Structure 1
Amino acid sequence: MPSILDNKNTAAPSVFLPAALLREARRQKGLPTVDVPAICVLDPDGDMVRRLRESGEAQPFKPWACYHTQLDTFTLAGQAIGLVGCAVGAPFAVLVAEQLFASGCRLLISVTSAGQITASTSPPYFVIIDRALRDEGTSYHYAAPAEYAEAQPRLVKIAADALDGTAPHVLVGATWTTDAPFRETADAIDLAKSKGVLAVEMEAAALYAFAASAKAQVLCLAHVTNTMGQAGDDFEKGEADGTRDALAVLARLVNAFRELPGHDVETLSNGDG
């Protein structure tokens, strides 16, 4: 039994809470307590953040008290959206997610680059992740051992209905979440493929385990952009480094999620900063 599974009481409360960290960061930096937008997006590659900053569409959310990241806000589908770039990997993604939900976020969407495992179609395309194979460490601090971390079925259905028939191609299925992208061996890839896994990424299993533990609304999408360097002209995301397609997908999701309880137009329009 690996030691990471020792003494894990996932029902026990944590001594160290995100609210305490944010409180002290605000004290040190002289920041006011202001809620982040109700819908926030994780952009691990940072392409959306960079493009939106360059175009002047994204502005820093100055009250954001996180020590490790900058939160930007921009308008999408008529709503204020929070955006955090470059939070790569399970521990970093959950670190940020904890603080976002402690700061007023009510729905978090992660859009992460992923490598193709099952050749469903030619990259780039998107996968709405309905479950993630747990091959990372963070999820085991939030949920008892299990092969997969599951998405909330209702969120997956809403997203699938919203993106049905859109371009680019959108699939629904499983991914493999790894902490070690440069240890994707042939045997590991074959095993994931035998389980019907569509792609490999670095955050979804941990984010879904956190969401189940915290009763938070989190949806993860994989932007499948590569075959792990096994083909020529790999890692091509599409126009504007894939941001045009990613923002189009997100706009449809924002419109669809307006119907969720607690996500009325007034709530979603929150974006002071």
Structure 2
Amino acid sequence: MLLEEFENVPGVIEPTDKQILEPGQICDTIILSFNGQIIERLLESDAVRPGGHLKSLNGLHSWYIYQQGDIEVAVMLALIGAPMTVGQLEELAARGFKNFIVLGSCGVLDRGIAADRIILPAAALRDEGTSYHYAPASPEIAYDEVLLAKMEAIFDKHNIEHIRTKSWTTDAFYRETPDKVKRRLAAGAKVVDMEASAIMAWSQFRKTKVYQFFYTADYVDHHNRTWDARHAERIADAMTFFTVALTIAKELER
């Protein structure tokens, strides 16, 4: 099987190659949001200044510097999908960022979980391809317990309600069939995303510090074989979740 060919050796192309690197302002911590509205709101508020960029065939992918008091962090739009996200993390780590706070929405498999709830992914089912190049083959991967405990302690300190559970990471959101959903629920996954298992594998392979959380959005209704976007239930302002990420960043700075 191709996905069982994990090799713990350098690649032909490494993110530290000089031709990939570009100058830019680096902070210890960068917040990566999958929600473009958060970045748009920050740019509209003049709360950020240009920091630097990554390059791809799609163009430039910019990060910005956000300052609040004596806290200074970078913020950036996260690229959707496991291969894109991990490639982005690789190049940001090569530039010198040390702490990665990643936030975005997730789908819900367990209809008992309401919209706008914060999720800590304690583990993820590996239904994508990228993680298998960063960790030996296995059905699932666990979040680094030290990092998870640190993030949970921050949430408890600031009375941020959250749910700790397993996620199902899949590349193919149009192939979340009812029977697959049932099997993923039976395996302990209550939410679904597109990047978490790959991010966990990358973080452990590169020995980096990633603090990832989700906020719940749509419901994959396998009972009625339909998709419930739950727009009426999703009333939280997107900046509420940026504030959570900023709380983590401030605690890391301390």
Match of residue 51 from structure 2: 61
Match of residue 263 from structure 1: none
Percent identical among aligned pairs is: 23
Distance 2:28 2:124 in 1: 25
Per-residue CA deviation, residues 223-273 of structure 1 (Å, 9 max, x unaligned), is 111214734643864344x22x212211221233235xxxxxxxxxxxxxx
Q: How does 1:86-235 map to 2 (within 5 A)?
A: 86-164=78-156, 169-228=161-220, 230-231=227-228, 233-234=230-231
Distance 2:61 2:13 in 1: 19
The TM-score with structure 1 as length reference comes to 0.82
The TM-score with structure 2 as length reference comes to 0.87
Q: Which amino acid aligns with 1:89?
A: G
**Where is the strand percentage greater, Structure 1 or Structure 2?**
2
- RMSD across aligned C-alpha pairs, in angstroms? 2.3
Paired residue total: 246
Please say if residues 225 and 235 of structure 1, whose CA atoms lie closer than 8 Å, have aligned partners that are also in contact: no
Distance 2:164 2:216 in 1: 12
Match of residue 250 from structure 1: 245
Please say if residues 71 and 83 of structure 1, whose CA atoms lie closer than 8 Å, have aligned partners that are also in contact: yes
Distance 1:235 1:141 in 2: 40
Match of residue 265 from structure 1: none
1:13 aligns with 2:3: no
Runs of 4+ in structure 1 deviating by more than 6 angstroms, as ranges, are none
Gaps of 5+ in 1: 260-273
1:142 CA drift (Å):
0.6
1:72 CA drift (Å):
1.6
Distance 1:167 1:155 in 2: 18
Match of residue 39 from structure 1: 29
Gaps of 5+ in 2: 221-225
